[in-house]
Each structure stands twice: as C-alpha cells, then as structure tokens.
C-alpha cells in the first residue's frame, strides 16, 4: 500500500494557522530581544560591569571566570525522564549577577549560555536569539 500524502499542505485553514503562528513567534522573539537590549543598556549605564573590585584586571578575571563557568554548565544539560533537556546554566548566571551586578550577569548570560546545539545549527536562529535574550532579561531582573 502506498503511503498516504498529507492533506495539510492543501488545507487553507492549516496554512493560515501556520502563518499566524509564525507571526506570533516573530512578535515574541522581537519583543524579548528588544527588551533585553533596553535592559542591558540600562544596566551597563547604572552598574558598569568592569568596576567590580576596583582594579580592571580583577574585574576582567571575574567576568572571565563566570563566563567560563556558565559555558561549562551549558555544555552539560540535564536530560529528564521524558527526554527533554534542562539547562543548568542559570545558577552561575545568577551568582555572577548577585555578586558582580546586573550588567555582569547580562554579559555572562549573553556569552555563557551558548550551547553546542546552537553552534551545530540544530536550533533555529530565532530560537537561539530568544534563549539568549531571555537569559539576559532574567539576569538583569534578578
């Protein structure tokens, strides 16, 4: 028996639902990305990230430490029983935000949340943008 073709591509209602869903996704991603940029600029102006400990070499070392720690945490996501993955990178992001200020937390979350799946192209660009932008918002608001 020949495989049955899907009728979804010919159905105008399903095409409209897909288009509406794409528009909603684009609005969501654009809103979160814009919010993260506004909050990041505000945090950098209010709490400059490289004035952590008085010396700039110490501040750069702290920023590097937290970023590397976050990258390491992002490299090992936890797989749940239902095969979904949970990123545990939020702990070092929040620690850097609490200890060094919201601007540092934003920088650490922006760079440190990069995952191998994103580098390999397994996640669409808008998913990567949304994930990083939401991590920046969480780090600043926390």
Tens digits of residue pLDDT in 48-62: 876 644 557 777 888
User: What is the distance between the alpha carbons of residues 61 and 77, in angstroms, rounded to a whole number?
Assistant: 25
Flag whether pLDDT at 16 surpasses 80: no
Look at residues 101, 75, 104 and name the one whose alpha carbon lies nearest to residue 88.
Answer: 75
User: Model pTM?
Assistant: 0.77
| Both structure tokens of 117 | 């799946």
Which pLDDT does position 99 carry in this prediction?
A: 87
Q: 16-20, 72-76, 97-101, 123-127: which has the minimum mean pLDDT?
A: 16-20
Say which DSSP state 86 is in. Answer: E
DSSP summary character for residue 77:
P
Let me know if 63 is exposed, middle or buried by CB neighbors in 10 A (0-12, 13-18, 19+): buried
* Whole-number Å distance between alpha carbons of 91 and 68: 13
**Range name among 19-23, 27-31, 78-82 with the lowest pLDDT average:** 19-23
44 has a pLDDT exceeding 50? yes
Q: Give yes or no for a contact between 59 and 107, defined as CB atoms under 8 angstroms apart.
A: no
pLDDT of 86 reads: 82
């Amino acid at each position: 028996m020949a495989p049955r073709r899907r009728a979804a591509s010919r159905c105008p209602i399903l095409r409209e639902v897909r288009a509406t869903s794409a528009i909603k996704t684009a609005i969501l991603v654009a809103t979160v990305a814009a919010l993260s940029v506004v909050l990041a600029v505000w945090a950098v102006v209010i709490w400059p990230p490289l004035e952590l400990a008085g010396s700039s070499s110490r501040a750069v070392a702290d920023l590097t430490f937290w970023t590397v720690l976050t990258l390491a945490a992002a490299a090992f996501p936890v797989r749940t029983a239902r095969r979904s993955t949970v990123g545990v990178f939020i702990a070092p992001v929040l620690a850097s935000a609490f200890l060094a200020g919201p601007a540092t937390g934003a920088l650490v979350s922006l760079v440190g949340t990069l995952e191998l799946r994103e580098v390999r192209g397994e996640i669409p660009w808008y998913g990567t943008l949304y994930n990083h932008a939401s991590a920046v918002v969480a780090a600043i608001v926390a």
